[in-house]
Amino acid sequence: MDPRLQQAGRIDELYALIDENPYMLENIDAVPFVNTPLHVAAASGNIPFAMEMLNLKPSFSRKRRSCGRVPLLLPLNVSKMPKVEPLEGSGVSFGRIDATFATLLKQRKTFVFKDNLLLTLSVIVPLSLAMDPRLQQSAESGNINDFYALIDENPRILENIDTLPFVNTPFHIAAASGKIAFAVEMLNLKPSFARKLNTYGYSPLHLAVEKKQEDFVTWLLRLDPGLARVKGREGITLFHLLVLRGYVDLVVECLITSPECIQDVTVNGQNALHLAVMNDRFEALQVLTGWIQRMSQRNARSIEYAVLNQKDLTDNTALHLAAYKNDHQACFCFPSIFSFYISQIGDLCECSILCRW
C-alpha cells in the first residue's frame, strides 16, 4: 500500500491520492490477501474514514490480511476508541462512545457477509486519464451530433472512461453546464455514469446542485428517482446536499419519488435532520419533520422513530443539536412531546438532557 494512503487519516487526504491515481483502491482490491485502508482505519478507530471507505469499496470489509483477519476483528484487540468531545458551550461531556467500532459498522445496511467473494489478481492497464477535449467540448455545449461523430471515430470512447473507478465523465460536464438533453442521452447510453464519482468524490448531480442547475436536477430525478440516494464524498447523498443548500422544492421532489432517502446517513452518522439544524435550513427542517409525521408507507412508525432518534458520532440527535444552539424555532419543528418539554422547562440544554433520558 502507498505509505501516504496508510498514513492518511482525513478524507480530503484520501481524495487527493485518488485524484493522483484513480486506480489506487482497485489495485489494492485485486490482491487476495492485503492490509487495506479499512484495516488501518479499524485498528486506529477512525470511524468517519472507515465509513467513507465502505461507501467507496464495500469489498474491503470482507478482505482478509495475510494473517487472516478481516477489518472488524481488529478493533476488538486494541484499546483505541475515538473520544467524543462535547459541543462547545454545551457543558455536557459524553465520555467515550458506548458502542464499539465494530457495532457501528455492522449497523450499516451495506455491511453484509455474503458467500465467499471470488477475487482474481489481474493486471490493470492504465488508460489516459485525460478526456478527449472534443468530447469535453461537446458535453459543455450539449452538441449530441458532435458526440456521435466521436463515437463513430472510436466506438469504445465511453467504455474507456467507464473503466476508470473515479473519473470526470461527460455526464459530470453536462451536469455542471446544465445540458439536460445531452445528459439524458448519456443516461440512455451509459447509466453507470450517473452514479460515477469523480476524483473529488462528487457525482454528476452533486455538481449540478453546486452549480445551481435546479432544472437539470429536477429532470434527472424524475427519470431516475434513485439518484437521490447516490452517496458522494463523506457519505453525503444528493438528498443531503439539497437540504444543505436549502433547495426545498427539490427536497420535496426527492421525498415523493424516493421516500427511503430520509433514512440515509453520512459517514458522521448524521441524517438530513442533523444537516438542516446545523446549517440553519429552517424551511427544509419544516418539510422534513412534517413529512416524517405524515408518512404512510410500510413501517412508517419504526422509520419515524429511527430517523428522529438517529445519533451522530458525538451521540447527538438532531433535536439535541437544536437545543445546544438554543434554537427555539428548530426545536418546535419536532413532534409535540419535545415541544411540551421545551415549554415546561424553558432551558433548551436541560430539555435536551431530559429527552436523552
The position carrying cell 491520492 is 17
Q: What pLDDT is stored for residue 323 in this prediction?
A: 87
Q: What pLDDT is stored for residue 102 in this prediction?
A: 46
Mean pLDDT by runs of 10 across the 357 residues of the chain is 82 90 89 84 85 88 69 47 38 34 42 30 37 92 95 93 93 96 96 94 95 95 95 95 95 93 94 94 92 78 88 91 85 61 45 44
Q: Give the distance, in angstroms, between the CA of residue 195 and the centroid of all CA atoms in the same chain.
A: 12
Amino acid letter at 175? Answer: A
The position carrying cell 451521540 is 315
* CATH number, residue 322: 1.25.40.20
250 and 332 inside one domain: yes
216 and 238 inside one domain: no
Kindly state whether residue 309 falls inside one of the protein's structural domains. yes
Q: What pLDDT is stored for residue 72 in this prediction?
A: 56
Half-sphere exposure of 18 (CA within 13 A, CB side): 25
213 and 245 inside one domain: no
Q: d(Cα 275, Cα 280) in Å, to the nearest integer?
A: 8
Q: d(Cα 130, Cα 210) in Å, to the nearest integer?
A: 23
Indicate the residue among 223, 246, 273 that finishes a domain: 223
| pTM for this prediction | 0.74
Domain count, the chain: 3
* CATH number, residue 33: 1.25.40
Domain housing 28: 3-106
Kindly state whether residue 111 falls inside one of the protein's structural domains. no
Q: d(Cα 26, Cα 311) in Å, to the nearest integer?
A: 32
Kindly state whether residue 186 falls inside one of the protein's structural domains. yes
Kindly state whether residue 189 falls inside one of the protein's structural domains. yes
Record the cell numbers describing residue 97, joined without a space.
462512545
Kindly state whether residue 112 falls inside one of the protein's structural domains. no
Record the cell numbers describing residue 138, joined without a space.
461537446
